[in-house]
Amino acid sequence: MEEEPSNLPVSLWGRVSAFETRAREAYKRKPISHWILLVLSSAAMLIAFPASSLLSRVYYANGGTSKWIISWVAVAGWPLTALILFPTYLVCKTSPTPLTLKLTFSYIVLGLLSAADNLMYAYAYAYLPASTASLLASSSLVFSALFGYLLVKNKLNAAIVNAVVVITAAMTIIALDSDSDRYGNVTDKQYIWGFVWDILGSALHGLIFALSELVFVKLVGRRSFHVVLEQQVMVSLFAFVFTTIGVTVNNDFQGMKYEARSFEGGKSSYYLVLIWSTISFQLGVLGSVAVLFLSSTVLAGVLNAIRVPLTSIAAVILLKDPMSGLKILSLVVTFWGFGCYIYGSSSSSKDSS
């Protein structure tokens, strides 16, 4: 009786060759325009979102004080997304999604939650270094997984649960290191509140993500590029309305003139910071929507994982943020948690397919 040949372990070179073959096949299945758009969208996520975070910190570091203005800036660029949406109806030869009462109410609720979320993050960036705030904001992944499981019935496997535990541990490390990265003009109470608002904002962000997915599943029933853009435009529009009301009631529009005069660098620098904050945030949003449509949530997760250290490193280099050993450890642990989540999400999608 002949012995069956033993299965030799695949060499590293063999794995590289197999990956190269799969990548080449995937490349050939899509036109070159697809890959150009994907690269541009990925670059938008990796550049625009960190830039928006840094500009928020620049605003506060140079004399800005209004939390409402920063939250308003985050949604004031919604017409840019609308300008991208309208041509897609012609290109895709489709019509707008009918606005039912339930769908409109869902957009209003999501808009209100988004306005509150932006305000929480504004408080966080007012009191925390950009590197710390971005690391804490990565906890939104934990809440996205939990709310996705509770509301949308998304699957949770061991890798995703491990990611939740690991990222939670990273947040704990930052809390233990609170004395090393506090700005001199920030009190203990303000720092604690900045920490709390960042975590609460991340929790709300995770809830918004799950509710948005629920809208697609229950009310829209389909997910395409123009449908995702429609939701983004409508939610941003209502968030803009709610935030504008808050800015008006708080008299912050009138306060902008005083802030501009006292801003380090002058009026031009003040308005440039706000304008580029608006543009960069919307570019990041458009990039993330495009990546989700052109590729997958896994790639979006990878890019989100990459932009956390990018933001932290950029904050250290450009804004001279303090970077202690514990914060570096937290950054590494967070990155590991993202990796676990991406692996778990990829495994779940393979099992369901």
Question: What pLDDT sits at residue 352?
Answer: 53
Q: Are 211 and 113 in contact (CB under 8 A)?
A: yes
Q: Pick the residue with more confidence: 196 or 1?
A: 196
Q: Is residue 192's pLDDT more than 50?
A: yes
Question: What pLDDT sits at residue 204?
Answer: 92
Number of Cβ within a 10 Å radius of residue 11: 9
Span 144-170, mean pLDDT? 80
List the domain boundaries for the chain: 58-352
Question: What pLDDT sits at residue 64?
Answer: 92
Question: What pLDDT sits at residue 194?
Answer: 92
Question: What pLDDT sits at residue 293?
Answer: 72
Classify residue 10 as exposed, middle or buried by CB count within 10 Å of its CB (0-12, 13-18, 19+): exposed
Span 125-145, mean pLDDT? 85
Question: What pLDDT sits at residue 163?
Answer: 77
Question: What pLDDT sits at residue 70?
Answer: 95
Alpha helices in the chain (DSSP H): 12-29, 32-61, 67-76, 78-91, 101-127, 130-137, 140-147, 158-176, 188-215, 225-249, 252-262, 266-294, 297-318, 325-352
Span 19-28, mean pLDDT? 56
Question: What pLDDT sits at residue 7?
Answer: 46
Span 337-347, mean pLDDT? 71
Q: Which residues contact 330 (CB under 8 A, 6 or more apart)?
A: 135, 170, 171, 173, 174, 177
pTM: 0.82
Q: Is residue 315's pLDDT more than 50?
A: yes
Place of tokens 């989100």: 304
Q: What is the mean pLDDT of the chain?
A: 82
Question: What pLDDT sits at residue 14?
Answer: 64
Question: What pLDDT sits at residue 222?
Answer: 60
